Structure 1
Amino acid sequence: MESAIPEHLRCPRTRERRVADDHTPPYPGWSARAPAATTQVVMGYFGVQSRGPAMQGRACAALLKIARDFALPDGPGHHDLAHCVDADGYDNMIAIAYWHDAAAFARWCATPAIEAWWNADERLHEGLGYFREIASPRAAHFETLFSTPDRLEGIGVVMGGVSGELQEHGYWGSMRDRLPLAQADALAPSGTRAVIAGTPAPGQRVRIAGHTHLAMIRSGQEWTETTGQERQLYLEDMAPVLREGMDFLRDQGLPIGCYSNRFMHHLDAHGAPLQKSFGLSYWRSLADMERWAESHPTHVAIFGSFMRYVQALNFELRLRLYHEVSVLKADEQSYEYINCHARSGLMNGLAPAA
């Protein structure tokens, strides 16, 4: 086994790991590996928001326009398309794009055609909402975990490599132990979210500033290859419990430190749903996320259903699982919303009471 933290990101550890040096995980896991020359990546969420069947065609066209622009010079190395319905009943279609080079993303974003489209007055008058949520973590500020090494997801696709089997997983606290930054940093949050332009409301262009050590997680599942008992167990036992936990974070997460949660289903290039889903959530801190994972009834139920699942199958799974977790500095975040409702994304909880 090897450490989740690559050699070039290791430093003298001043904060103890949650397990002993001879820990053996109950099942295998892998991390994506990037070359040492990769110092910062970009995870971009480009969203289109609409409400009602009458607007779905227009929203799909807007999403596909965004995806076509990824083919321009300096575009991302990988992107996904996904959809969810938020707590206010709005459809959110999102193109999620990944760059292994932050400078290339900056050049792509500054492409005249892209910049002009985003800033055009028409974006406020089409009956749609748009948003960009951009996380640009430095190499020490994020970690990944995959249940299989042969088909990576998300940022893993553009990182270029994969580790051997990891030691730091399969126990509470392993997420923190995999983060290079956490070797010597408590990752305590400081500052607060702030509206730095506009007012969170439809008809506005709004920019939100994040704060130091805001945490972000994308955690996904793919059941395409499951069959028989495994497929039945996933769809009838595990998936409903997962949905309940995701809905709790979406609807009631703010008091426990979850700023926003979307439970999304992947779409193919024609907009048809795939047998893949993921939760995307933003948290005040990694510690808030850990508390929910370790002790809240909704996540305890998710964990319990997963353990029943793997034990029934003797740990021989065709279900694919993964996550990517970032703990972000303030300068690694950018959130912009055009004509979106007031509880969208990182605006959630910032609008004045009606």
Structure 2
Amino acid sequence: MDATSEEPQASLPASLEHAIPPHLIVERTQPWHKDARQPPKGASHSFWFGSDIESIVVLYIGLQFLPGTDVDVPVASTRKYLNRVHDGHYYHCETSGLDDEGYQTIVSIAYWKNTQDYRVWKAALPKDWYHEGLELDGPVGAFIEIYTPTVRDLESSYSHTIPHGWGHIADHTTKPTDLCGYLGSMRDRFPRAQSDELIAKGHPKAVNLPAGADSRGRIVAVEPHSNAVVVNSGQRWKLAEEEEREYYHSRIQPKLNIFLTPLAEGLSAGCYFQRFLVMNCPETNSCHTISYSLWHSQSHLEAYVLKKPHRELMSVAIVDYLKRQKSGGAKLELYHEAMVLEEKNQAFEYFNCHPRTGMLRAIMLKS
């Protein structure tokens, strides 16, 4: 399809809003997806940042250990540092999960709307803050994964207007948007994709890790490459009735598991790692799960999603959900936030972590 600067819904009805913030819309030199000009099949909302915001900060800070290990002290240390921020431009949450090596992982996710506030916070910390008190030959590993995307490199899609992730620090919640309901809409929502093909260049490289060496007992940094894609997708059923919860667990979740499980098997799909996490929350009825993945490129992500069996699985799940949404019976909250990242806007460091942790997995499976 020929590239055009014309919006899919050139004159939006009053009920719709552009998925790309107006101040980030530029003359388009890259083609739209073929379905971009179709009316939205359902309601999808986005969270924007104002024109005064150039970039945000997203941190993933993790502790890794075998079940039964006492981690009260390092968990308290992480919480101590993350709780030092007390303004409305910051949000953090704590999650946990079991990785494919059988290690328990506690992952805190933190967001800063103001990069200068992040720099001030970071400058006041000890250098070893994320692994403070841990030993390289001890039973607990730690890691930090840092992303500083520009607002041109962000996109989000929410089934509801309830904020999650960076939605907590965003400036604007949209009405239903014009770009949703079709596989491939993610690329169309990235502001930078209007004029950039988002082609990945290079491959991740380990620093201070000799070939064939074990990453445990070391501090290993990983050098990234340009245009890697991070996706954080979530499902929360705090407000859902019992019938809809049963519907999710019996109809939607099995399809998602079939779709996501192959990503743990290798790098052929272009997925460097995938973490399945559960939000740590005191309310028993606020079930909230997260899938956090990092991909070599947007093209790899699209190719995986558009494989026939995956496409059919996801299409059925989407259609089922949209039917419930239109009937007013969808209280399950589905969302994702995505970043396409330049090389300079990523950093990874792993302290005493096993070789299949995060970006270390990309190094191990490639070697």
Q: Tell me the residue number matched to 1:184.
A: 195
Q: Tell me the residue number matched to 2:216.
A: 202
Q: Deviations over 1:190-212 (max 9, x none)?
A: 01101123455111100001100
Give, in whole Å, the separation in 1 of the partners of 2:366 and 2:319: 42
- Inter-CA distance 69–269: structure 2 relative to 1 (3 Å threshold): farther
Q: Tell me the residue number matched to 1:169.
A: 180
The root-mean-square deviation of aligned C-alpha atoms, in Å, is 2.4
Q: Among 28, 34, 39, which residue is 2:54 paired with?
A: 39
Shift in Å, 1:243: 2.7
One-letter amino acid matched to 1:319? L
Give, in whole Å, the separation in 2 of the partners of 1:299 and 1:263: 21
CA contact (8 A) 1:246 1:262 kept: no
1:350 is aligned to 2:363: yes
Q: Tell me the residue number matched to 1:10.
A: 25
Give, in whole Å, the separation in 1 of the partners of 2:274 and 2:285: 20
Shift in Å, 1:255: 1.1
Paired residues, number: 347
Runs of at least 5 residues in structure 1 that lack an aligned partner in the other structure: none
Give, in whole Å, the separation in 1 of the partners of 2:313 and 2:365: 34
CA contact (8 A) 1:215 1:285 kept: yes
Q: Tell me the residue number matched to 1:158.
A: 169
1:77 is aligned to 2:93: no
- Inter-CA distance 20–172: structure 2 relative to 1 (3 Å threshold): closer
3-state SS in 2 of match to 1:238: helix
Q: Deviations over 1:140-167 (max 9, x none)?
A: 0111111111x11101111122122200
3-state SS in 2 of match to 1:2: coil
CA contact (8 A) 2:236 2:287 kept: yes
Taking only the aligned residue pairs, the percentage that are identical comes to 26
3-state SS in 2 of match to 1:246: helix
Q: Tell me the residue number matched to 1:255.
A: 268
- Inter-CA distance 303–265: structure 2 relative to 1 (3 Å threshold): farther
3-state SS in 2 of match to 1:301: helix
Give, in whole Å, the separation in 1 of the partners of 2:346 and 2:287: 30
- Inter-CA distance 97–73: structure 2 relative to 1 (3 Å threshold): closer
Shift in Å, 1:106: 2.2
- Inter-CA distance 314–143: structure 2 relative to 1 (3 Å threshold): closer
Q: Among 55, 61, 64, which residue is 2:76 paired with?
A: 64
Q: Tell me the residue number matched to 2:277.
A: 264
Runs of at least 5 residues in structure 2 that lack an aligned partner in the other structure: 1-15
Q: Among 321, 336, 340, which residue is 1:327 paired with?
A: 340
Q: TM-score, normalised by structure 1?
A: 0.90
Q: Tell me the residue number matched to 2:152.
A: 140
3-state SS in 2 of match to 1:206: strand
Q: Deviations over 1:204-251 (max 9, x none)?
A: 1000011000111001111122214322111122122223333321x2
3-state SS in 2 of match to 1:94: strand
CA contact (8 A) 2:130 2:144 kept: no
1:231 is aligned to 2:242: no
Q: For structure 1, which segment, 336-345 or 297-306, has the greater mean C-alpha deviation from structure 2 after superposition?
A: 297-306
Q: Deviations over 1:40-86 (max 9, x none)?
A: 10110000000122x1x41x542332122122258871111111111
Q: Deviations over 1:294-335 (max 9, x none)?
A: 225346424423423443675531110111111100000000
Give, in whole Å, the separation in 2 of the partners of 1:18 and 1:211: 26
Question: Where has structure 1 moved over 6 Å in runs of 4 or more?
Answer: none
- Inter-CA distance 174–313: structure 2 relative to 1 (3 Å threshold): closer
- Inter-CA distance 63–313: structure 2 relative to 1 (3 Å threshold): same
Q: Tell me the residue number matched to 1:124.
A: 136
1:217 is aligned to 2:217: no
Q: TM-score, normalised by structure 2?
A: 0.87
- Inter-CA distance 27–353: structure 2 relative to 1 (3 Å threshold): closer
- Inter-CA distance 20–107: structure 2 relative to 1 (3 Å threshold): same
- Inter-CA distance 23–296: structure 2 relative to 1 (3 Å threshold): closer
Q: Deviations over 1:247-282 (max 9, x none)?
A: 321x22411100000111111269x79411111000
- Inter-CA distance 231–190: structure 2 relative to 1 (3 Å threshold): same
One-letter amino acid matched to 1:157? H
One-letter amino acid matched to 2:176? E
1:294 is aligned to 2:306: yes
- Inter-CA distance 263–296: structure 2 relative to 1 (3 Å threshold): farther
3-state SS in 2 of match to 1:255: coil
One-letter amino acid matched to 2:180? H
Give, in whole Å, the separation in 1 of the partners of 2:100 and 2:35: 42
- Inter-CA distance 127–141: structure 2 relative to 1 (3 Å threshold): same
Shift in Å, 1:179: 0.3
One-letter amino acid matched to 1:215? V
CA contact (8 A) 1:131 1:338 kept: yes
